[in-house]
Structures are given as C-alpha cells and as structure tokens.
Chains A and B, each alone.
Chain A
Amino acid sequence: MSLTAKDKKMVKAFWAKVSGKAEDIGCDALSRMLVVYPQTKTYFSHWKDLSPGSAPVRKHGGTIMGGISLAVASIDDISAGLLSLSELHAFQLRIDPANFKILSHNILVVLAVLFPNDFNPEAHVAMDKFLAAVGRALSEKYR
C-alpha cells in the first residue's frame, strides 16, 4: 500500500491548508492519545503533568508535528528523510511500533474535529496511508 502520485499530491495540498495549526493538532492528538489509550502514558513517566493541553504535552505535540512536516517535505523518500528520527526511535526511544498506529488514529480524529469540511474521505485515505508510511519509516531501524 505505497503512496501513489495522487496520494502525495493530496497530502501536500491538505498539509498546506492545515500546517498553520500544526501545534494545536499535535497538542490535541497527544492529549487524546494519553486519555483514550492510557497505556501510552508509560512512555512519559518523566513528565510532571500528563493532563490534556498541559505544557509538556503541548511542547511535545509540536515536536511530533515537526517530524510530520519533515515527512511531508520528504514524501518522495520518507525513509531517507526520516533517517535520523528512525535511529532515534530505534535505539534511544524504543517506542513499541504499535503506538505509531495509535497516535496516527488520534491525529486523524483531530483533523476531523478541526477541519470537518477539508478532511473529506479522499483526504482521509491519503493521510491515513501517509501516516502509516511514516510509522513504517520510523520503525525501519528497529531490527
């Protein structure tokens, strides 16, 4: 299920529309993930405040969206573009890759909440495929 030319075009166009709110998207997606999938809190035991919209959640949401932006810019070769992030996740963070799917789902929910008209079924399928490709690129160095 690799990204077609049509998918890439859709992702770039949609991202151009929504990237202005990247930090809000990241903050809300991460907040939702920590509430709806409490097992994900285990990766953040070093944070003082895991409540929705807290300072560490907002900051980290922004960091994650920076990675997504990088992936959009590298959409023709996501693995190459995310190489150092892939090494970070594999050797230092060691986040179970099942969690990439969980965060992706929450990003899609937030896109629906914030952009109900733009996030139509065609944008949805392209973004779902894109986020899955990002997850695969991030898990590339795991073993």
Chain B
Amino acid sequence: MVEWTDEERAAISNIFSKLDYDEIGQKSLSRCLIVYPWTQRYFGGFGNLYNAEAIMNNPMIAKHGTTVLHGLDRALKNMDDIKNTYAELSVLHSEKLHVDPDNFKLLSDCLTIVIAGKMGNAFTPEYQASFQKFLSVVVSALGRQYH
C-alpha cells in the first residue's frame, strides 16, 4: 500500500485544484506526440498529425487530452487504493487499446513538464516530488493487468 504524507496529499490536491483540464490535457498529450513521435502509433484515426503545428491544433487530440486528464481524477479521489481503482482501465489499455505500458511514463513526463511551465516557481522541488510520486503510482496501477 502506498503511504502518503499530509504534505504530499496537500501538494497533489493543490496542483489539481488549479488545473484547467482542457488546457493542460491538450498541451500534455500534444507535447507527448511531438516529443515522442512513436506514440502517434495509437492515434491512427485522429486525423492530421503531420507536424507539430497540426498536432497542436488538432481538435480530436485536444478532446482526448481532456479525457486522459480526467482519468487522473479517479486516482485523486481514491489515493489510498489507486491499484484497484485502475484495474478496469488497466485491462482496457492492455486488452483493447494494446498500449505499450512504457508509454505511460512518457506521457507522465510531459504532464510534469507542462504543469511546471504553467505553475512556474510554485512548482517547488517538493511539489515536483509529490506529483511525480503520484504519477508513478498511477503508471504502475495502469500496467498491473497486463499479461
């Protein structure tokens, strides 16, 4: 079971309370597709991903970014049982979407960097540590049902 200190819980809830899901979702997913272009393999039906500009202006990617970010809400609301909270999503990503779980870390790194850009110095080293810990627990839970 993951142990969270009061400071970690406060940091994570503070970061999410300030989040514009539409903005951050769109920015993180499009940054992931640009910085790690092989991730585009999962978005064959999403229209024009030809270059960075096309990706950043793609409305389907923007919408999907919001969806992914709202997926994190489940962990936020169930911090003491993230593992079981994501069992169903893990099966989805493995059996239906066939996403290589290494990709989860790539997206979570992009999310960290986008939030750092948004929050500036308010994203202190301690906030970064708490947020990265949170994301690594989510990533681990999402990979759990793969076989």
B68: interface (CB < 8 Å): no
CB <8 Å contact, B128 and A124: no
Name the A residues within 8 Å of B112 (CB-CB): 109
Given contacts A35-B126, A36-B132, A121 and B116 within 8 Å (CB-CB): no
Chain B residues within 8 Å of chain A by Cβ, number: 23
Given contacts A112-B113, A116-B117, A31 and B31 within 8 Å (CB-CB): no
The answer for the CA separation of A112 and B116 in the assembled complex, in Å, is 6
CB <8 Å contact, A122 and B52: yes
CB-defined interface of A98-116 with B at 8 Å, one 1/0 digit per residue? 0000000100111011101
The answer for the CA separation of A116 and B120 in the assembled complex, in Å, is 8
Number of inter-chain CB pairs below 8 Å: 51
Name the A residues within 8 Å of B120 (CB-CB): 113-114, 116
Name the A residues within 8 Å of B117 (CB-CB): 112-113, 116, 119
Name the A residues within 8 Å of B129 (CB-CB): 35-36
- CB-based closest 6 A-B pairs: A35-B125, A112-B117, A116-B117, A121-B34, A112-B116, A36-B129
Residues on A lying within 8 angstroms of B by beta carbon are 31-32, 35-36, 52, 105, 108-110, 112-114, 116, 119, 121-122, 124-125, 128
Residues on B lying within 8 angstroms of A by beta carbon are 30-31, 34-35, 52, 55-56, 109, 112-114, 116-121, 123, 125-126, 128-129, 132
